[in-house]
Chain A
Amino acid sequence: MASRKLKITLIALVFLVGGITIYLLYNSKPYAHIRRAEATYILSAGNLIADYDKDEALANKKYSESIIEVSGRISEIKKVMEYHVISLYGNETESGIICHMLPEENSKVTRLQKEQQITLKGVCTGYLIDVMMIKCILKD
């Protein structure tokens, strides 16, 4: 009798944990983990552009959808809707890195200035005529 009760309790527990996991997984906010996640690649804006210059398909395979940490000099800061967009200079080419910041970074971004050297962490989404990043945060 006791073992039957235990079995029912265990099955109920499995369903409960499974249900909660599925719910959390489905309702989780995209990139809620960015702040605490380790970057897969840490590199300079120049090197990132250079990799895309060399072979876009290969660079896409490597960086696209990865969390990367990129350092560079600010070429432009502007506000789009409720968040900021920071552009970093590339190397000798005219391409740069365009980083769409998370809205939570707004107060930090307003203290930044053009030409300042910074490090950003975010998700690389690929390359148009610049390397694109979304969900970016500033690294201290």
Chain B
Amino acid sequence: MIKLYTICLCFFLATVAVNAQTRYFTKDGHISFYSHALIEDIKADNHQVLSVIDTESRELAIQLLMRSFTFKKALMREHFNENYVESHIYPKAKFTGRIAEIKLNDTNPYETEISGTLSIHGVEKEVSTKAQVRIEADKITLSGDFNVVVADYNIKIPALVRDNIAKIVKVSFELHHKPYK
């Protein structure tokens, strides 16, 4: 029987090298976003982020479920999923790209650049951002933040709640990768 898991993983890692020795992986990465607006501030967290790094090719692939974002208030989450990002049509956000530099033997944290394609709400955009890399014994941690212009991803905010939601939201990430076995 062809295993769906393997198919998904292959699909997900389509551009990532086959050598498992060079592959690092997490299923519980953390991505959050923060919207600062006139009427209220909104923060949401997602701790179910899937991320894979191939240290040889320096490729990075990230996937998350929009519905896995948790909010302080129930209604915020409902509006986010149903009205803005339309999770029933576009359940996932994806990023595929490359890390400019991976220094496996350097245990001092350093800054590098990540660039690639970010797909949200069915819209793909080229993005690049600075990221912190921290390499410990068997762990590669990527962290940083970047801004997302809501309108770039065809996410429409009704005029009535325009003062509740920022036009630009800050996205932060912290991904602790372990060797893929």
Contact = CB atoms under 8 A, between A and B. Distances in A.
Interface of A: 25-32, 52-53, 60-61, 64-65, 78, 80-81, 85, 92-95, 98, 100, 125-130, 132, 134-135
A92 to B, nearest CB: 7
Interface string B47-75: 11010000000000001110110111111
A32 B75 CA distance: 12
A85 B6 CA distance: 23
B151 interface: no
A64 B74 contact: no
B4 A95 contact: yes
Q: Interface on chain A toward B: helix, strand, loop, or mixed SS?
A: mixed
Interface of B: 1, 3-6, 8-9, 12, 27-28, 30, 47-48, 50, 63-65, 67-68, 70-75, 77, 81, 87-88, 91-92
Given A28-B73, A30-B71, A85-B28, A132 B65 contact: yes
B73 A134 contact: no
B48 A134 contact: yes
| For the complex of A and B, 9 pairs with smallest distance between CB atoms | A125-B67, A94-B5, A30-B74, A126-B65, A95-B5, A125-B68, A53-B4, A128-B50, A28-B74
